[in-house]
Chains A and B, each alone.
Chain A
């Protein structure tokens, strides 16, 4: 392989790979990137076996071929070159010789066949999905994805195309649940939606985080498709495939509380600020904060034998009977932090039933937090 390429273009593409190349894997090859030159493009691949990123850029191919080089160090090398272009040529022992202006170096490489199998994503049927809407869906659900490997099916977000052609994303860790259902303008799907999507798939946490990191709302169009057991995202020249989590997502409709009349509407900023204040007195083991709804308003209370106790009452629109329940305040903060509206609704049914938090302006999403025993 022999190519001539602009340093800036190469370092930009290499940057996109850095999120998935791992330094500390037992499999040394995973810290490498696979470079493929053919036609007049250079394609770069990197994978951590769960997420694979491929990206390409234009370059002058003097001799087509493939090589794998250490992704991190190649990025560092290219970033620090002063000239505008460089020439990369592989040797027989799979090392690569890099020349740029006065610089000449040899970089250790390995046989390209040692690189893990890369999914061929060129023939996947893609559905456009508005990047703004999709990123919003990730924001609203990512925080409640479980981190407990013992329940692998919860370590990702459930994603499904419903019969009404809406996109549904749900995540839960057993203590709380986030659900959002949207209908992006960009998403026009006929009857050819893959079965997997109709039934729902589980996208792992890391894959969602990686999308969140690389996709920019102002960037090119984002589209997705299903290939074997991966979901493939295309974003400009870049394609990102994420291996789906096998297993079934629990039937979450059962834990969703039914509409109740005990709905309280509260100013979000005030609620957030009060919660932060009262939580200063929450136990550092249980993070427990008690919410009580009554005629005098929403009362927040926390106590800890080592710190003392505190209450704060915030005004609410509420007409139901008095109820109270205890929560892990961090779960409440997580929800309030992702809501954009000025007012939120809180529905406490009783001390032990799941509590519902909603954005009053946006019906399409809801958040459930399980109370703690007081």
Chain B
């Protein structure tokens, strides 16, 4: 669990909550929305601890002490009055009505030892319809010493009636600099050595989401990127064998297939940005020469068209179309793109 002070880049949200605690007007239900991996759950967890911290005097805000029994238990998720509701299930993960009933059952009595019982529903949009409807009653008639925090990155999937019963707090995407510094901290804590350059690239890939950036570093996708882009951009027309072989090996990559398409998309975005505003906003900073070489002969329309092709491939993949066929098709487009505007040579020699 992070302390209040350790949460970076969400000052606006924190200020609202701090004011609520100081004036003792903590709303009965909050809806934390914003992109994934920007600290919504961390804030909810810390908030539960701050509200119940034994070292804090009532009616004034103070960061959680982290050492009192309350903070310890909440940090370990072993506090009897802090309920964490997470999507559950083997195949389809969602929040079921039984889990909501659990909340309602505990809401009948006063908290066991906490000042305020806090219920945190993580990924609240994963509630089943019955669960959502059951929760309405709890939101409607909140008990005096209970607060709910709904955490979601897809608020549009919640019932309007739920949203209207909560105070919404928006969490924005994090600044690149915040993601980089946090990422370095987290990696150092786990003893993982990752070069500064890669961390910056991962932060760019995460688009302001610390969680996603971290996942990207962990997936090892960044390391294989250069080789992979080289392969794709090296394919020219008249090399059907190389094209088919690449499509085949790629289609067997499983999970990584989607990631690679993301890499391609972001690379094309970089190409486009490079063409219009130079290297300033390029994410793949370590691959700058590759971006430059690609950007030179292509027109913006060419690149846009390729992005559309990649998006289409991604879409088809989710619809269970044969992966190899999709990739062959996509690579054929790349072969044409690689060749266009160049007199008989591909942009990147394979």
Contacts and interface: CB of A to CB of B under 8 A. Distances in A.
A114 B72 contact: yes
A27 B104 CA distance: 17
Given A149-B101, A149-B104, A117 B72 contact: no
A150 B102 CA distance: 12
A49 B112 contact: yes
B72 A49 contact: no
A320 interface: no
Contacts of A116: 80, 112-113
Given A27-B80, A114-B78, A149-B101, A245 B112 contact: no
Interface string A85-126: 000000000000000000000000011011011000000000
B73 A149 contact: no
Range class of the B interface residue count: 10 to 19
A27 B72 CA distance: 14
B124 to A, nearest CB: 17
Interface in B81-117: 83-84, 101-102, 104-105, 108-110, 112-113
Contacts of A111: 72
A243 B109 contact: yes
Nearest to A50: B109
B195 interface: no
A162 interface: no
B112 A246 contact: no
B69 interface: yes
B308 to A, nearest CB: 47
A29 B113 CA distance: 15
A152 interface: yes
B70 to A, nearest CB: 10
A243 B78 CA distance: 20
A110 B108 CA distance: 29
Given A27-B80, A29-B78, A49-B80, A117 B108 contact: no
A27 B109 contact: no
Contacts of B109: 243, 245-246
B239 interface: no
Nearest to B112: A49
Contacts of A152: 108
A229 interface: yes
Contacts of A113: 69, 72-73
A149 B106 CA distance: 11
B277 interface: no
B105 A149 contact: yes
A238 B105 CA distance: 28
B110 A229 contact: yes
B274 to A, nearest CB: 51
B276 interface: no
Contacts of A28: 78
B76 interface: yes
B158 to A, nearest CB: 23
A29 B77 CA distance: 10
A113 B80 CA distance: 13
Interface string A215-253: 000000000000001000000000000010111000000
Interface string B50-77: 0000000000000000000100110010
Contacts of A229: 110
Given A149-B101, A245-B108, A246-B108, A114 B113 contact: no
A27 B78 CA distance: 6
A29 B78 CA distance: 7
B47 to A, nearest CB: 20
Interface string A22-35: 00001111100000
Nearest to A152: B108
Interface of B: 69, 72-73, 76, 78, 80, 83-84, 101-102, 104-105, 108-110, 112-113
Name the 4 nearest CB pairs between A and B, nearest first: A117-B113, A152-B108, A114-B78, A29-B78
17 contacts: A26-B84, A27-B78, A29-B78, A49-B80, A110-B78, A111-B72, A113-B72, A113-B73, A116-B80, A116-B112, A117-B112, A149-B101, A149-B104, A152-B108, A243-B112, A245-B109, A246-B109
Given A110-B78, A247-B108, 20 more contacts: A26-B84, A26-B102, A27-B78, A28-B78, A29-B78, A49-B80, A49-B112, A111-B72, A113-B72, A114-B78, A116-B112, A116-B113, A117-B113, A149-B101, A149-B105, A149-B108, A243-B112, A245-B109, A246-B108, A246-B110
